[in-house]
Each structure stands twice: as structure tokens, then as C-alpha cells.
Chain A
């Protein structure tokens, strides 16, 4: 075991398998691909790792228009053309027009950095394949200046994916993979405690029961996730709702109070109302 083993921070609860995955990725220098339901803390993991291991964090948030070379560098040809019209001196050195991307900056860092490539599945289907050489050997070639940029220290690379597209096999081979499961009741309790240490256990228990029941409702289009639970609890605390209100009446017969934080979809709210209506009719 190394000294720098990641075991969660005071704001982030990590399960044993996640700790093991991070440890392995750091020790062997492989990228770690994280998948999971939305809202389970994938993006936050990178920040927490950086904080726990005291390393700088570089983030690259992928958009649907991202191309692989955006992360490396961009060559601003238009500026250079314009400057050449105006007779600027800096035109003569092409280096002035090369804008470094997140990967380049991570490679240049003089301590081992943490690099987050967020939501890699948003980009074009071939995007991950364009990064293979960079991930493998941590180096790339800048055509304009004929330089080879090599990583001074092999960065800890964290890649998150929302599972919107499937990723190509060649890319998957090079990564370690971890799937963050939705936390079970025990882990969920720990997570809530970390964020709200002063929460009364009564309220916590009722809230968790209601939350998991909502998740179990059949036909929900978007199940509420961890971040929504935390928001909801914040609202409950702000409105000072006592636990009896949550427990009160049969939970199947009422929509949970302040459900706007949990159910983000109009269809889901309708579904809930219908179920409540049916239950009421059925039990008459």
C-alpha cells in the first residue's frame, strides 16, 4: 500500500471498490474511466482526488462540438493573418499563436497533476479514438512548431461518461473501468451525514425511506439521484419540515412534500399524481 492511497475526503464518501480503482489507476499510471448514473459524483471525484493527494487539477469539459485536438492545442490562424496585415512583430514566431489545451498544460505541470476529461461520450463517436496515442504514451506532436510534447509526470487521468454513446473498444482497452453504483441505504446515510452533520436521525430516516420509495416507483423516466436527495434535504431543513409530515399519511397516497427537488420531469409528476389517484380509488 502506498502512502498516497485515496480513501475519500471529508466531503466525499468513497466505497471500497472505488478506492481500489483509484489506487490501481494511480499506481499503474492508467486512465480511469468512470461511469454511473447521473448525479452519483463522477465529476466531483476528480476534484476530491486532487484535494486528497494534493495535486493540481486540470479539467477538460467535452462538448458535442469538441474535437480531440482542442484538448492539445489550437492554432489561431486568423489572428496571425490579421497581425500580418498590421505588421506586428510577433507574427514571425508561430509559437505566439498556438493556444495550449488542457492536455498540454497537464503534461507541462512540474508535479504529477490530475486531469479530468468530463463527459467524453458527448463528443463525436470517433473522438475517443483520436486520443489513443496521447493516452498511451502521454506525448503528442505539434505540427506547427515541429515539437514533441512529452509529459513530465504521467498525469492521473480521470474520464467520465454518461453512457449516452458506446465507447470504442480500442479506447476501453487502455483504461481501467469503474462503475459507480447508486449508493445503498447505508452509504447514502453516510453521504448525507457528511453534508449535513447536524441532521436529526429521525428526519434522515424518514427522508431516506421516502427517497428510496420514490426511486422504486415503476415507470419513472428519471430516477432522483444523490444530488437531488441532498437538495431536497436542504429544502426540508430550510422549510423546517418535521419528520411526521414525511411519514404522515400512507406514503403511497400522497406525493412527497417539496417534490420539485426530486421529480424533475413533468411526466414523472403526472405519473405520481395518477398513482396517488389510483391508490385512493382502489382503497375506497
Chain B
């Protein structure tokens, strides 16, 4: 019965796995949830949804799947025939528990209290510890029973109820369809790891110490080694402003992931296309700039360069001197890009726009041609491929991709 719920959840985008579903069944068997649709909701959510971003999807599937079911739920618990209850308890309850029931006033009193509780439950929809166990009846079991008999709670079941928790859709804001989270970005960037031990020796080299001590006839000779860190050097150039504004969030995530991963990370900003100036501080981009020649001189070809931008602009901005929208550039963007590709053989361009839209903008095609088609979308897969490209020894690609500047 719940298997359909499980498959519906998976279809609805909640990544549930089979062991989690089984653990829900286990919890139901252990009777963790009392007789309440709301408690079942909380139990199911806790066992099957492991990220608050998926809560909203879970709510929707739950509402669809169990719509109307909670009416059935209450009807089932309300219409328990008392004799059936008696028989069940005779079989299942221990002597002590039977005595406790008697102490509570006997069967009739018990059923009356249960009825009252159900009325309260429908009124307030709260869980809590006020439930009297009904000798372990579980509405989820496969015991059919005759719905005739004493009807309880009938009068109130037709009234309107309080809004159900899952209908409230409280978690709508948490659901972001963006697949790319910081962790995923970091996992993608991990491809570009090349560990090396460089720098000051600060860590105890246990193996070296043991070796040296042994050679020293047992007198302690401590050896230190530098810490192991990712020796890859990365130069990140980010497009800011204008058409890049909608992509700020994903660029921020990429940036923070890169910062965590790489020890040698340098970043600069440009607008639309790299020209003769780049800058580090966006608030002072017109006063404090870095000359691109300085950039090319300071960072040796060891550095791997990643451009992040949507390459969306008028083609004049690339081809013409003076084409830049913000200032007069003496040389065209094409010339500058050629310098970049010649100096840095390992270079890629990450584009946050989806790949199927690239052909709509001519400037994207021009950019791709200038960098030898090393443009990748800013998705997990694209990042993966970009990192693979960066790992390859750069010299072969440099010859292929360098373009001669036009006059």
C-alpha cells in the first residue's frame, strides 16, 4: 500500500532509497507513530527526506497521495466494534495490562474516553501524550474489519478541519531547483587536485622520523615535512555586471568552493570581455585597476585560467577597438584574448547560460572560436569536463588554439 507512495515520491523528485523506505516500515512496526495522520506525516518525512530543500516536494506528493485518506483514517478508528476490541485485547494484553485497563474504569469508560479524545483531536490537530493505547491496533496492518458497529465521532467528521501540516506548504522557499550546490561544485573542482608538499616544514614526518631514528641507533631524530596541499594554481577571471546579474548566486558558490579548494587562487573581474584592464574591487573599478599586461607578466604559464562569464554582448565589443561599452579600449577584445591564450596554455571558459542557448548569441560563437572551443556550461558535467581539460598538458592545445590578432 505504501509502495505507491514510495514510487510517487521518487517520481516527484524526492531522492528516497529503498533502505529508507524499509526503515519507515520498521518504524511503523515498532509503533512509533500514534493514530494520527499528522504523526505519520512527521514520521514519513523524518525517515525518507534528508534535506529540507525537498520538504516542499514531499508535502505535495503527500497531499496528493493521502488526500481524503485521512477521512478514511478517522472513520476506521471511529467505527471500531467493541466486541472485536475485547477479543483482541484478551489475546494480546498481558495480565498486568488488563488490570490497568480495569483501573482506568473498564471497557466502556475506555471507549468513551477514546471517543472524546478523537473529538478533541479533530478539533485541535495536535499530537501529544494524551493517547490511551487501544491495545495496539494499527490501522496500517492488513486486518480488515467490519465497519459496522458503534459509530464514534460521526457528527464531527463532517465539519471543516484545521489546515493540515502538509497543505500549509511551509517549506516552499527552501526548494531550489538548482542542482549545483557548493558541495557539488567542490567535488567537481577536486578533479584539479595535485598534491605537493611545498613550503615550510611543519608537520611531523612519522615514517621519516622512524627511519632516521633507527639509523641513529635509537636516538630520537625528529623529521618534519611541509603540509600536503593542493599545489594547483588557479587564476579566476569573473564577468560582472549587466547580463551576469542573474548568475550572481551560482558564481558566488563557485567562488567560495574554489577558495576552499585551492591555496593559490587569484581572481579578477572584468566586464563582458577582457581588455587592457581588470580589477579586484568592484566598488572601485574605475579608480583602482590592474593593467592586464601586469597580469600577464605576474602570473606564469603554470597558472590555469578560468573565465566565468556569459559571453553575451554585441560582437563589436569583441572585434572593434573602442567597442567596449564602458570605456575606450585601444585594442580590440580579440587581440587581448589572443594574448591570454598564448600566454596561458591551460585556459577554459565557464558559461552560466545553458548550452542550448549559446547559438542564439553571436558573441558566444566568436568567443568560442577565440579560445579554441574550450567553453563549458556551468553545470556539474560542464565543470567536470572543464577540469579535465585543464588537467591536460597545455602545450599541445596552445599551438592549436592561438589565433593571430587582426589588424
Give A173 to B182 CA distance when docked, in angstroms.
20
Q: Is A177 an interface residue (CB 8 A)?
A: yes
CB of B290, distance to nearest CB on chain A (Å): 27
Q: Is A178's CB under 8 angstroms from B30's CB?
A: no
Q: Is A1's CB under 8 angstroms from B204's CB?
A: no
Which of B34, B51, B220 gathers most chain A CB within 10 Å? B51
Q: Is A33 an interface residue (CB 8 A)?
A: yes
Q: Is B27's CB under 8 angstroms from A1's CB?
A: no
Q: Which residues of chain A from 148 to 200 have a CB within 8 Å of any chain B CB?
A: 165-169, 172-173, 175-179, 181
Would A166 and B181 be within 8 Å (CB), given that A24-B43, A28-B32 are in contact?
A: yes
Would A19 and B127 be within 8 Å (CB), given that A28-B23, A125-B187, A166-B181 are in contact?
A: yes
Q: Is A28's CB under 8 angstroms from B30's CB?
A: yes
Give A82 to B204 CA distance when docked, in angstroms.
14
CB of B302, distance to nearest CB on chain A (Å): 26
Q: Is A17's CB under 8 angstroms from B47's CB?
A: no
Would A21 and B50 be within 8 Å (CB), given that A16-B126, A85-B219, A179-B55 are in contact?
A: no
Q: Which residues of chain A from 72 to 96 have a CB within 8 Å of any chain B CB?
A: 77-78, 81-82, 84-85
Which of B20, B27, B45 meets A27, CB within 8 Å? B27
Q: Is A247 an interface residue (CB 8 A)?
A: no
Q: Is B292 an interface residue (CB 8 A)?
A: no
Q: Is B206's CB under 8 angstroms from A177's CB?
A: no
Which of B128, B186, B206 meets A125, CB within 8 Å? B186
Q: Which residues of A contact B33 (CB under 8 A)?
A: 20
Q: Which residues of B contact A178 (CB under 8 A)?
A: 46
Q: Which residues of B contact A1 (CB under 8 A)?
A: 31, 34, 129, 131, 133
Q: Is A27's CB under 8 angstroms from B30's CB?
A: yes
Q: Is A24's CB under 8 angstroms from B32's CB?
A: yes
Q: Is B19 an interface residue (CB 8 A)?
A: yes
Q: Is B183 an interface residue (CB 8 A)?
A: yes
Q: Which residues of A contact B20 (CB under 8 A)?
A: 173
Q: Is B51's CB under 8 angstroms from A16's CB?
A: no
Q: Which residues of chain B from 111 to 155 have a CB within 8 Å of any chain A CB?
A: 126-129, 131, 133
Give A35 to B174 CA distance when docked, in angstroms.
13
Chain B contributes a number of interface residues (CB within 8 A of A) equal to: 44
Closest to B204 in A: A78
Give A166 to B380 CA distance when docked, in angstroms.
15
Give A23 to B183 CA distance when docked, in angstroms.
31
Q: Which residues of B contact A169 (CB under 8 A)?
A: 15
Closest to A35 in B: B52
Q: Is A7 an interface residue (CB 8 A)?
A: yes
Q: Which residues of B contact A7 (CB under 8 A)?
A: 129
Q: Is B49 an interface residue (CB 8 A)?
A: yes
CB of A70, distance to nearest CB on chain B (Å): 16
Q: Is A16's CB under 8 angstroms from B46's CB?
A: no
Would A176 and B34 be within 8 Å (CB), given that A24-B27, A28-B27 are in contact?
A: no
Would A20 and B127 be within 8 Å (CB), given that A30-B23, A33-B50, A125-B186 are in contact?
A: yes
Q: Is B47's CB under 8 angstroms from A176's CB?
A: yes
Give A45 to B19 CA distance when docked, in angstroms.
27
Q: Is B51's CB under 8 angstroms from A177's CB?
A: yes
CB of B284, distance to nearest CB on chain A (Å): 18
Q: Is B183's CB under 8 angstroms from A77's CB?
A: no
Give A78 to B51 CA distance when docked, in angstroms.
43
Q: Is A173's CB under 8 angstroms from B50's CB?
A: yes
Which of A78, A166, A168, A177 meets B49, CB within 8 Å? A177
CB of B20, distance to nearest CB on chain A (Å): 6
Q: Is B46's CB under 8 angstroms from A24's CB?
A: yes
CB of B125, distance to nearest CB on chain A (Å): 10
Q: Is A122 an interface residue (CB 8 A)?
A: no
Q: Which residues of B contact A252 (CB under 8 A)?
A: none
Q: Which residues of B contact A181 (CB under 8 A)?
A: 170
Q: Which residues of A contact B31 (CB under 8 A)?
A: 1
Closest to A36 in B: B52
Q: Is A5 an interface residue (CB 8 A)?
A: yes
Q: Which residues of A contact B209 (CB under 8 A)?
A: 81
Give A167 to B38 CA distance when docked, in angstroms.
28
Q: Is A77's CB under 8 angstroms from B206's CB?
A: yes
Give A172 to B49 CA distance when docked, in angstroms.
9
Q: Which residues of chain B from 143 to 199 have a CB within 8 Å of any chain A CB?
A: 170, 181-184, 186-187
Which of A20, A81, A165, A179 meets B32, CB within 8 Å? A20
Q: Which residues of chain A from 242 to 272 have a CB within 8 Å of any chain B CB?
A: none
Q: Is B39 an interface residue (CB 8 A)?
A: yes
Q: Which residues of chain B from 38 to 71 have a CB within 8 Å of any chain A CB?
A: 38-39, 42-43, 45-47, 49-52, 55
Q: Is B90 an interface residue (CB 8 A)?
A: no
Give A86 to B51 CA distance when docked, in angstroms.
54
Closest to A168 in B: B183
Interface set of A (CB-CB < 8 Å, partner B): 1, 5, 7, 16-17, 19-21, 23-24, 27-28, 30, 33, 35, 77-78, 81-82, 84-85, 125, 165-169, 172-173, 175-179, 181
Given contacts A28-B26, A125-B183, A165-B182, list 12 more A-B pairs with CB under 8 A. Answer: A1-B34, A1-B129, A1-B131, A20-B127, A21-B42, A28-B30, A35-B52, A77-B206, A125-B186, A166-B184, A176-B23, A177-B50
A-B contact pairs, 8 of them (CB 8 A): A1-B34, A1-B129, A1-B133, A16-B39, A16-B42, A16-B126, A24-B32, A28-B23
